[in-house]
Structure 1
């Protein structure tokens, strides 16, 4: 067995395992369909790129990039930036939710004003 086939097998197994864990929800909640489709597309793309590196180089040449590895690097940079953007938005949304929750808890836990303060003054 050649060294290339060994590394291809290892990489394909690793990518499929990572993709599977990304699809599987630890809490049993359903993930969004778009996230699952993107994950499956990524896994399929990764398996093809690992199994058929010449195809990746041909695709790179078709879009004006010299090597398939460079094309993959560019795609990963874009995917990383999309992930950072998504994480930033998710964090901002969670911070807003926590702020609203903290305000609600503070209002609910506030003591009632004294009876004298509640009476209207003439």
Structure 2
């Protein structure tokens, strides 16, 4: 009973923290909808553990815990992929910025040489 209450409070608190606007969030509404659905599913699975076993049997998985594990692996791989894509985009941006800075510095040095002459 206490662990159920603790887990439900933890899920809701984490959802509130994760839903805070950071200013750099893209597709924030979609993220909030999926996070809300996840919290509802998590709370229901804590309150009614037999529900998770029923869903697992419905999709052909032996136990509810196995279904949770498979879901976590899938979400983890999705997270790794999105972080990889974000890292590539940041590397491209950093390369472009470095090139622009190098060109601006070269132009500034060239102007400085012409003003000295």
- Which interval holds the TM-score relative to the shorter structure? 0.7 to 0.9
d(CA) in 2 for partners of 1:83 and 1:12? 24
What SS does the aligned partner of 2:4 have?
Answer: helix
d(CA) in 2 for partners of 1:17 and 1:68? 24
The aligned counterpart of 2:110 is 112
Give the drift of 1:38.
Answer: 1.6
Q: Which runs of 5+ in 2 are unaligned?
A: none
Q: Which runs of 5+ in 1 are unaligned?
A: 116-122
1:69 and 2:54 aligned: no
Alpha-carbon deviations, 1:22-59, whole Å to 9, x = none? 1112x455552221222112111111111110100000
d(CA) in 2 for partners of 1:104 and 1:84? 30
The aligned counterpart of 1:78 is 74
d(CA) in 1 for partners of 2:96 and 2:68? 42
d(CA) in 1 for partners of 2:89 and 2:40? 31
Q: How does the TM-score come out when normalised to structure 2?
A: 0.85
What SS does the aligned partner of 2:61 have?
Answer: coil
Matches within 5 A, 1:41-80: 41-80=37-76
Stretches (4+) displaced over 2 A: 27-31
d(CA) in 1 for partners of 2:34 and 2:61? 24
Which structure features the higher share of helix residues? 2
RMSD: 1.7
Aligned residues between the structures: 110
